[in-house]
Structure 1
Amino acid sequence: MANTYSQIYIQFIFAVKDRERLINEEKRICLEKYLTGIIQNKKQKLLAIYANPDHFHILMGYNNLNILIPDLVRDIKSNSSKMMNDENWFNGKFNWQEGYGAFSYSKSQIDKVVKYIINQKEHHKIKSFKEEYVEFLNKFEIEYKNEYIFEFYED
């Protein structure tokens, strides 16, 4: 579209179904590369990505406004699930949990968010995913009901 300019930064967070800790280090690297390809093919600008064993963080510049955010996340999740199932990464069928978080940032916050994402391994030695996710919802003043956020299973 002529004369349309945007600068939108979004962090997406989504979880493995039933919060199973399925993504080991070898799979993490492969999955991150695969998701990077999906994001780039959708004409979005990837800024940071990290696959935890049970959940995922992506920070991107949302550049292609012709694709709706729910469609983008659906494509990321469905294409990656298909790849993992086609390659038989796991016993049984892999699925992402329904839903996701999408949190927007200003350009001045990007370096801090990138560092946060790439340091997920260290971060989760201190804080659980549930604590992290609820903290995001509260920080961004998102009203929620416990029954509608990700299912969390106590360790």
Structure 2
Amino acid sequence: MLEKMAGTFSQLYVQIVFAVKGRENLINKTWKDELYKYISGIIKGKNQKPIIINGMPDHIHIFIGLKPSVAIADLVRDIKNNSSNYINDRKLVKGRFSWQEGYGAFSYSHSHIADVYNYILNQEEHHQKRTFKEEYYNFLKKFEVEFDEKYLFDWIE
């Protein structure tokens, strides 16, 4: 007798944002694309769908199609741990590279994919107009995320 299994169907889109520890400008243009490809591989390895990865020297944006089989916290932990090891094993920075604790995760509907993709693609352009701190505060306000200032990233002024 053939048993039918109920399938799980989902369409979740999440933008994840996190910063280099101390908000240092350590992500270099000469190797950032390789780092993004590596992170994309981590995401695919967790059976998730990377849509676009981009950022600035001090922070990164990752837009993914998320299946509910993986908790966002676990995915971010694995991305941070493995990408830190990737940077350190290749000695791409002086000293030890690490990401700051914490991250932002913001969900979007299918109709917003193109807008989010273009926003992430054009990071350099956005950051000519506003700092990462301003950008991050805007995300928290736009998505009505309650936060305590003391638990946000360590900002370097």
TM-score tier (shorter): over 0.9
Shift of 1:66: 2.1
Shift of 1:26: 1.1
> What pairs with 1:82-101 in structure 2 (closer than 5 Å)?
82-101=85-104
User: How many Å separate the matches in 1 of 2:106 and 2:152?
Assistant: 15
Equivalent position amino acid for 1:81 in 2: S
Q: What is the RMSD of the two structures over their aligned residues, measured on CA atoms?
A: 1.0
Shift of 1:151: 1.1
2:42 to 33, 38, 41: 38
1:20 to 17, 21, 24: 24
2:110 to 107, 110, 113: 107
User: How many Å separate the matches in 2 of 1:149 and 1:91?
Assistant: 26
User: How many Å separate the matches in 1 of 2:56 and 2:112?
Assistant: 22
CA shift digits 1:35-73 (9 cap, x unpaired): 11111111111111103100000100002x222111100
Equivalent position amino acid for 1:149 in 2: L
Residue 68 of structure 1 is matched in structure 2 by 71
Residue 146 of structure 2 is matched in structure 1 by 143
User: How many Å separate the matches in 1 of 2:98 and 2:50?
Assistant: 23
The alignment covers a number of residue pairs equal to 153
User: How many Å separate the matches in 1 of 2:79 and 2:138?
Assistant: 24
Over 3 Å off, 4+ runs:
none
Shift of 1:8: 0.3
Q: Which entry has the higher C-alpha Rg, 1 or 2?
A: 2
1:10 to 3, 7, 14: 14
Q: Secondary structure at the match of 1:25?
A: coil
Q: Tell whether the 8 Å contact from 1:49 to 1:59 is kept in structure 2 after alignment.
A: yes
Q: Tell whether the 8 Å contact from 1:31 to 1:51 is kept in structure 2 after alignment.
A: no
Q: Secondary structure at the match of 1:125?
A: helix
Shift of 1:2: 3.0
Q: Tell whether the 8 Å contact from 1:49 to 1:57 is kept in structure 2 after alignment.
A: yes
Residue 127 of structure 1 is matched in structure 2 by 130
**TM-score for both structures, normalised by structure 2:** 0.94
User: How many Å separate the matches in 2 of 1:117 and 1:41?
Assistant: 22
